[in-house]
């Protein structure tokens, strides 16, 4: 029985790790994009500046959606780990 819980924990932790890796990669990409937008704003005309702001807004919306999705996955993982902990504890084993 403990072997099953161990495999479940590994699977959940794997999903959580991949989620955090994806989030980290996206944050790095966002930081580069923001720096690029900032550099482009220095010499931008009013029209170019408007387009840059709209593009940045789109990046922010995408990042917000990714963060919300990642938070859901991490919450699900936390709930799953807690359920496994409860099952193991109920079976007389301590985690």
Domain tally, the chain: 1
Domain presence at residue 60: yes
Q: pLDDT tens, position by position, for the chain (95 residues)?
A: 567 788 999 999 999 999 999 999 999 999 999 999 999 999 999 999 999 999 999 999 999 999 999 999 999 999 999 998 888 887 755 44
Residue 61, domain member (yes or no) = yes
- 16 found inside a domain: yes
Instruction: Tell me the C-alpha distance between 69 and 58, whole Å.
Output: 17
Domain that holds residue 71: 2-89
Q: Is residue 95 part of a domain?
A: no
Residue 18 maps to a domain: yes
In a domain, 15, yes or no: yes
27 is a domain residue? yes
* pTM for the whole structure: 0.76
The angle subtended at Cα 39 by Cα 28 and Cα 26, nearest 5°, is: 15
């Amino acid at each position: 029985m403990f072997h099953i819980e161990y495999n479940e924990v590994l699977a959940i932790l794997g999903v959580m790790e991949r989620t955090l890796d994806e989030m980290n990669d996206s944050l790095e990409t966002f930081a580069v994009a923001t720096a690029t937008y900032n550099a482009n704003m220095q010499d931008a005309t009013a029209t170019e500046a408007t387009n840059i702001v709209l593009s940045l807004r789109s990046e922010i919306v995408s990042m917000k959606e990714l963060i919300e999705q990642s938070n859901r996955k991490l919450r699900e993982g936390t709930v799953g780990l807690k359920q496994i902990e409860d099952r193991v504890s109920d079976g007389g084993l301590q985690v």
